[in-house]
Amino acid sequence: MTTPAGPANSHEIAEPAIAKPVITQAMIDAYDEYTHLTLDRRRFMEQLSRLAGSGAAAAAIAPLLAADTAQAAIVAEDDPRVKAENVTYPGSGGEMKGYLVKPADGTGKLGPVIVVHENRGLNQHIRDVARRVALEGFIALAPDFMSPLGGTPSDEDKVRELFATLDPAQVAANAVATVAYLKGYTDGNGKVGAVGFCWCGGTVNTLAVNAPDLTAAVAYYGMQPKADDVPKIKAALLLHYAGLDTRINAGIDAFKKELDAAGKEYTVYIYEGANHAFNNDTSAARYDKKAADLAWGRTIAFLKEKLA
């Protein structure tokens, strides 16, 4: 009987396991400061290098903190359950671009929902969120608030640079114009809701102040409006906050006080242990599935109630 040829004393050598980078709360906080306040990537990477112990470690951790544009969508672009198209519509003083999605089997008049993007612009993740909203039985429109600047660039760092030049008054005016467009939309039922995350959570709050025709507003970890503006709000509010998001959460108590004083309809949920951007499933370090699923279920139930 023959045996396979080989070394007399061969041994398999196991490759050492590659350790997963340890991401601390301080690193997450530094990333949030960079993306929402300083926009200074060099300073952020220097800070991250100190926290991580080396430049190489920082380079490995940075992509985990950021959103991964290659992350697979929850609802594919060609999902047969939805009909999606790029559209243009009248904005405030110019044309607005957007992504409009409807249920493929939708019948009758449906409630329209504005899906407001983060400070990364109208990217693939927000288009995916719009498709998720449509699957719940709504007409979803994700506007590109960078339309006055030519639209959202593909380069994320370029997006942040351009965001710094956006006129907040123009953003608010274009958001109000979006409500008007959807209020008169042929397949809509005349009621309009809005949902936004991060920068757009603050934009949704601003929209609620400026658009008396808005029926319902859902803001995820959004900056609160000025106290003097709260009495202008007509929409019912659903407000989601991350327990670890100290920067945004600092304004919660004052906001609630003004809402109570003005007799407004609102509900606040705080998700303990969750970070800012906990709903964004393309960000490995900050996504919190438990909090995201709970908040999403509450969001859809709220919109179905208010937009019926």
pLDDT in tens, 225-268: 999 999 999 999 999 999 999 999 999 999 999 999 999 999 99
Per-residue pLDDT at 161: 80
**Dist CA 285 CA 171 (whole Å):** 30
CA dihedral 267, 272, 277, 278 (to 10 degrees): -100
- Does the structure show a pLDDT above 60 at 136? yes
| pLDDT interval class at 115 (50, 70, 90) | very high
Query: Same domain, yes or no, for 297 and 236?
Result: yes
Average pLDDT of the residues in 63-67: 74
CATH number of the structural domain spanning residue 161 = 3.40.50.1820
The amino acid present at 193, given as its one-letter code, is G
**In total, how many domains does the chain have?**
2
| pLDDT interval class at 21 (50, 70, 90) | confident
Mean predicted lDDT score pLDDT of the chain: 88
Q: Which residue from 55, 94, 105, 23 is spatially nearest to 287, judged by alpha carbons?
A: 23
- Assess if residue 53 is contained within a domain: yes
Query: Same domain, yes or no, for 217 and 140?
Result: yes
Per-residue pLDDT at 44: 79
- Assess if residue 15 is contained within a domain: no
Q: For residue 271, count other CB atoms closer than 10 A to its CB.
A: 22
- Assess if residue 70 is contained within a domain: no
Query: Same domain, yes or no, for 105 and 45?
Result: no
- Tell me, yes or no, if the pTM score tops 0.85: no
Query: Same domain, yes or no, for 211 and 157?
Result: yes
* Token pair listed for 102: 């409807």
Q: Which residue from 201, 191, 182 is spatially nearest to 251, judged by alpha carbons?
A: 201
**Dist CA 182 CA 177 (whole Å):** 9
Structural domain including 47 reads 25-65
Q: Which residue has the higher pLDDT, 285 or 101?
A: 101
Query: Same domain, yes or no, for 260 and 111?
Result: yes
Per-residue pLDDT at 106: 77
| pLDDT interval class at 72 (50, 70, 90) | low
| pLDDT interval class at 132 (50, 70, 90) | very high
- Compute φ and ψ for 167, nearest 5 degrees: -85, 115
CB 240 within 8 A of CB 271: yes
**Dist CA 69 CA 125 (whole Å):** 7
Instruction: Give the DSSP H or E segment for 151.
Output: none
Query: Same domain, yes or no, for 56 and 130?
Result: no
Per-residue pLDDT at 20: 65
Per-residue pLDDT at 27: 79
- Does the structure show a pLDDT above 50 at 3? no
